[in-house]
Chains A and B, each alone.
Chain A
């Protein structure tokens, strides 16, 4: 184990966090909220201290293997959450340290689950920081670090892979640095576009920015207790569209950027994703048609909820609890599926679902014709055994982890519906769940909040990096 190298990487990440916190402090300052600005700046100082520490203790050798990569990513996320919670805690705007950490984890992992009962009482600076965590957590802090800071090691893929969701992570261009930059360029461009569109819809700049951050990271923090419900249909449609956009694979936008539209349209995952979205919208629209006055309204609400849940954003335009059971069940399915690989969304990912279905199909074929040999094809290519077994193992692990979280959450005695949906909503980084968990997570015990915080981190980093932290042999010195 190369501890110094790990420290060095964590330091770099904390440096980025420090900058982000300073920006939030500046926003607070602009709104004349000096106390929140001060606390945010102080948080930035703490984060910066870690950065300085890593600069002082330079690693002796640059040797860096998969294990170090995974551990540094996991540790960095945990540390970021704790440091990011400091301003909330010290300013007293959120009570209780565990609550503060929960809120920050929920922000960074782009979950959007909140323990706040009255979000509207938060100061602008804190609101901005809360949503800004979505934005940086969505595309990934490490990707950002890679894009802006020099990294010497060629073994950067271990880390890129640890932070980016999906079964196989490829690069857009040969260099990891250029890939990271391209991803952020696309990300920033889409973000700016959305802010502008929301401003046209009559939202003020601050709220546009907050909601764009929430959508871009597929997070779900907003400025109002009733989420998006009170905004105009235009804004709701814009948000619907962008939630779907941010939950699609970013490779597609790269292909569009380099004008290779045919490659973009060839993506099988995109088509399946589209099909799931459309059928879910149709089914829910049919199911809830009596609830709304016009068809337009019905479609708008169905589309918004479907987009919000499959992209694991968690904005709502209506109370989930008002929906019929069938619609709620569909939304629960969508929570588990999540967005596409290589997006900012959480969940199992559509590509894994496609691969699993194809594997099942092959297995059934083998049962009927034992000598039949058939390769699993995805996006026009044969998927190798290693990837397939990786997907099936991941799926098993994904189920086991959720069952464990569910068991722990059910200790609080909120009933099966709430426990299951809250587990799915946190582990898949969605946010709001059913029943009591729709409004917020404040009612849960501290133990459950800690469990859920870990669940969110597990879900965001796709289990393995976090799991390794709990495995003793990973910490041995070789």
Chain B
């Protein structure tokens, strides 16, 4: 599929990298010749240097043949304008990054319609949504939803004293009554899709699928359940903080935001009057102590600097704040942060590229099966994909244990008429079901790809 991407910032490059790995024909547009040079050296793509709102530049990038145009430059206005021009010049689908609050909320639907955008991506909103989910369920390191929240995929780290240490999955199922499925395990750099005799060890990072109620039950049985965080301290008045604070306030939590820029503070005060805004440098430990970091239930560090986020989260964790989350954008730093013991890390890059990849894959296979959701977990080594089963699926009504599945594939969940099922060998897949597939080291484009 021919795809044109404009803007090669952090997000642009991440999207580009995922799409290249999916095997698309990609042309990138950027203003900076040095960036283009770098990108074309690193990736198998074609580079066009120039402005993405310039018709000649778009023509040179063969926009008229493009199936998809993704605009990820830093400016919302440029993104919208270039998407509009691209659409008029013949691009079939346009995706624009729009992150400014004034364009989001009520204006977004209008803009999308008027500009004929296929999708508007707000990375900050998406990250805020992720953060919100984690804060609502702090026992998880990361939590993703499937099938309109009927299913959850939860990542958690097994602490050294975990009850699951040295337990095989069969034993685990016998011991705990909560219906959960361990669908992926990361040990060191390796990721496994475990079978029943797989033995868990401490320090494993495991992914489980479960319904929301069963997940709570499981965590309670494990004795690691934390109740929803209601008192939250946010460091840095970024856009993510803005969206997050809005969501949290709406759900009745109390939010304290620490920011030094007076202009930003003014905007927060105007838009989110219910939040407590503290003017000051969040990097000062004194200030955080004074503002009662010890008594908060969760600490979220969202400043523009990855380093500061990591350090302040480590500080908060040392004060035994029950939940600390850091925003880390750079890939190399996020591994470092994990080594420092920070378990919850969010990254805007990954969130956005998941969304774009999902869209691209759905476009490529718009017939037959539909990809509903796609998440990539454990540093992109594992994919969790939700499909809607079409009536053409050849293995409908076949019990799972008789289905010739490929290696490293797991059917982690079935949703039938809104009723979630944690599948066992006797379950079957029916048309109109939604199934959640976990796949390691391969790209599942279509539901029949899971079959041998």
On A, residues with C-beta under 8 Å from B are 66, 154-158, 170-171, 173-178, 384, 386
Taking CB atoms, residues of chain B closer than 8 Å to A158 are 41
Do A173 and B33 touch across chains, with their CB atoms under 8 A apart?
no
A176–B44 Cα distance when bound, in Å, is: 6
Say whether, besides A154-B20, A384-B33, A175 and B42 are in contact (CB < 8 Å).
no
Contact present for A174 and B41 (CB under 8 Å): no
Q: Are B25 and A178 in contact (CB under 8 A)?
A: yes
Pair B33/A174 contact, Cβ less than 8 Å:
no
**Per a CB cutoff under 8 Å, which of B27, B37, B44 touches A154?**
B44
Q: A170 to B49, alpha carbons, bound, how many Å?
A: 12
Which of B37, B41, B42, B46 is within 8 Å of A171, CB to CB?
B46
CB closest chain-B residue, reference A66:
B41
Q: Interface residues, chain B, CB within 8 Å of chain A?
A: 2, 20, 25-27, 33-34, 37, 40-47
Which chain B positions have C-beta within 8 A of A154? 20, 42-45
Closest chain-A Cβ to B91's Cβ sits at a distance in Å of 15
A254 to B206, CA, bound (A): 52
Contacts of A170 in B (CB 8 A): 46-47
- List 20 extra interface pairs beyond A154-B20, A384-B33, CB under 8 A: A154-B43, A154-B44, A154-B45, A155-B41, A157-B41, A157-B44, A170-B47, A171-B40, A173-B25, A173-B46, A174-B2, A174-B25, A174-B26, A174-B27, A175-B25, A176-B44, A178-B25, A386-B33, A386-B34, A386-B37
Q: How far is the CA of A154 from the CA of B17 in the complex (A)?
A: 10
- In the complex, A29→B316 CA distance in Å? 80
Measured CA separation A40–B232 after assembly (Å): 78
Give CA–CA (A176, B45) in the complex, Å.
8
CA distance A384 to B32 in the complex (A): 10
Residues of B contacting A174 in the complex (Cβ-Cβ under 8 angstroms): 2, 25-27, 44-46
Cβ-defined contact, A156 with B25, below 8 A: no
- Bound Cα distance A157, B47 (Å): 12
Pairs A-B, 4 closest by C-beta atoms: A174-B25, A174-B46, A154-B43, A154-B44
Sample (24) of A-B pairs whose CB atoms are under 8 Å apart: A66-B41, A154-B42, A154-B43, A154-B44, A154-B45, A155-B42, A156-B44, A170-B47, A171-B40, A171-B46, A173-B25, A174-B2, A174-B25, A174-B26, A174-B27, A174-B44, A174-B46, A175-B25, A175-B44, A176-B44, A177-B44, A178-B25, A386-B34, A386-B37
Q: Which residues of B contact A157 (CB under 8 A)?
A: 40-41, 44
Q: Which residue of A lies closest to B48 (CB)?
A: A170
Q: Which residues of A contact B43 (CB under 8 A)?
A: 154
Residue ID in chain B nearest A387 by CB atoms: B33
A168 to chain B, nearest CB (A): 10
Question: Within the assembled complex, what's the spacing in Å between the Cα atoms of A311 and B41?
Answer: 30
Contacting residues, chain A, for B37 (C-beta < 8 A): 386
Q: Label chain A's interface by main secondary structure.
A: loop
Q: Which B residues are CB-close (under 8 A) to A386?
A: 33-34, 37
B42 contacts across to A, CB distance below 8 A: 154-155
Which residues of B lie under 8 Å from residue A177 when comparing CB positions? 44
Q: Which residues of B lie under 8 Å from residue A176 when comparing CB positions?
A: 44
A173–B20 CA distance with the chains assembled, in angstroms: 14
Nearest CB in chain A: distance from B437 CB, A: 25
A178 to B20, CA, bound (A): 14
> Which residues of A lie under 8 Å from residue B20 when comparing CB positions?
154
Task: Give CA–CA (A174, B44) in the complex, Å.
Answer: 7
Bound form: Cα–Cα A170–B48 in Å: 10
CB nearest neighbor in B for A171: B46
User: Which A residues lie within 8 Å of B33 (CB)?
Assistant: 384, 386
Residues of B within 8 A of A178 (CB): 25
Q: How far is the CB of A158 from chain B (nearest CB, A)?
A: 7
User: Bound complex: CA of A13 vs CA of B427, how far in Å?
Assistant: 52
Contact residues in A for B45 (Cβ distance below 8 Å)? 154, 174
CB of B3, distance to nearest CB on chain A (Å): 8
Chain B residues closer than 8 Å to A66, beta-carbon distance: 41
Complex Cα distance A157/B42, Å?
Answer: 8
Tell me how far the C-beta of A220 lies from the nearest C-beta in chain B, rounded to whole angstroms.
Answer: 34
How many angstroms from the CA of A227 to the CA of B20 in the assembled complex? 49
- Report which residue of B2, B27, B41 has the largest number of chain A beta carbons within 10 angstroms of its beta carbon: B41
Which has the most chain A C-beta neighbours within 10 Å: B20, B33, B34, B44? B44
How far is B44's CA from A177's CA once the two chains are assembled, in angstroms?
9
A179 nearest in chain B by CB position: B46
Cα of A462 to Cα of B43 in the assembled complex, Å? 24
Least Cβ–Cβ distance between B65 and chain A, in angstroms: 10
Complex CA distance for A53 and B25, rounded to whole angstroms:
33
Which residues of the partner chain B approach A171 to less than 8 Å between Cβ atoms? 40, 46
The distance in angstroms between the C-alpha atoms of A87 and B260, with both chains bound, is 77
Using Cβ atoms and an 8 Å threshold, which residues of chain A touch B25?
Answer: 173-175, 178
User: Which one of A66, A158, A173, A175 has the highest number of Cβ atoms from chain B below 10 Å of its Cβ?
Assistant: A175
Q: Which residue of chain B is the closest to A263 with respect to CB atoms?
A: B60
**Bound CA–CA A223/B2 (angstroms):** 47
Residues of A within 8 A of B41 (CB): 66, 155, 157-158
A322 to B389, CA, bound (A): 81
A156 vs B44: C-alpha distance in the bound complex, in angstroms?
A: 7
Q: What residue in chain A is nearest B20 (Cβ atoms)?
A: A154
CB neighbours (8 Å) of B27 from chain A are: 174
**Which residue of chain A is the closest to B47 with respect to CB atoms?**
A170
Q: Which of B25, B27, B43 is most buried by chain A, counting CB atoms within 10 A of its CB? A: B43
Measured CA separation A171–B44 after assembly (Å): 10
Question: Min CB distance, B70 to chain A, in Å?
Answer: 14
Give chain A nearest CB distance to B108 CB in angstroms: 31
CB distance from B80 to the nearest CB of A (A): 25
In the assembled complex, the Cα of A64 lies from the Cα of B25 at a distance in Å of 22
| Closest residue of A by beta carbon distance from B4 | A174
Chain B residue numbers with a CB within 8 Å of A175 are: 25, 44
Contacts of B2 in A (CB 8 A): 174
Report how far A177 CA is from B25 CA in the complex, Å.
11
Q: How far is the CA of A171 from the CA of B43 in the complex (A)?
A: 12
CA distance A157 to B38 in the complex (A): 11
> Considering the chains assembled together, what is the distance between the CA atoms of A280 and B363 in angstroms?
55
Contacts of B47 in A (CB 8 A): 170
Residue on A with the closest CB to B56? A380
Closest CB in chain A relative to B19 CB, distance in Å:
10
A89 to B89, CA, bound (A): 61
**Contact residues in A for B40 (Cβ distance below 8 Å):** 157, 171
User: B26 to chain A: which residues have CB within 8 Å?
Assistant: 174
The docked-state distance in angstroms from the alpha carbon of A132 to that of B20 is 36
When chains A and B are docked, how far (Å) is the Cα of A226 from the Cα of B16?
56
User: Who on chain B is nearest to A380 by CB?
Assistant: B56
Name which residue of chain B comes closest to A156, CB basis.
B44
- Closest Cβ of chain A to B22, distance in Å, is 13
By a CB distance below 8 angstroms, the chain B residues around A384 are: 33
Q: CA of A66 to CA of B38 in the docked complex: distance in angstroms?
A: 11
Most buried by B among A154, A155, A156, A178: A154
Which residue of chain B lies nearest to A153 when distances are taken between CB atoms in the complex?
B44
In whole Å, how far is A387's beta carbon from the nearest beta carbon of chain B? Answer: 8
> Distance in Å from the Cβ of B175 to the closest Cβ of chain A?
42
Q: Tell me the minimal C-beta distance from A69 to chain B in angstroms.
A: 10
Report the minimum CB–CB distance from A331 to chain B (whole Å).
37
What B residues does A173 contact at CB under 8 A? 25, 46
B35 shortest CB reach to chain A, Å: 12
What's the Cα separation between A384 and B25 when bound, in Å? 26
Give the Cβ gap from A97 to chain B, nearest Cβ, in Å. 39
Across the interface, name the chain A residue whose C-beta is closest to B3. A174
- Look across to chain B and name the residue whose beta carbon is closest to the beta carbon of A65: B41
The docked-state distance in angstroms from the alpha carbon of A177 to that of B33 is 23
How far is it, in angstroms, between the C-alpha of A171 and the C-alpha of B2 when the chains are bound?
15
CA of A178 to CA of B45, assembled, Å: 11
CB distance from B106 to the nearest CB of A (A): 38
Residue of A nearest to B41 (CB): A157
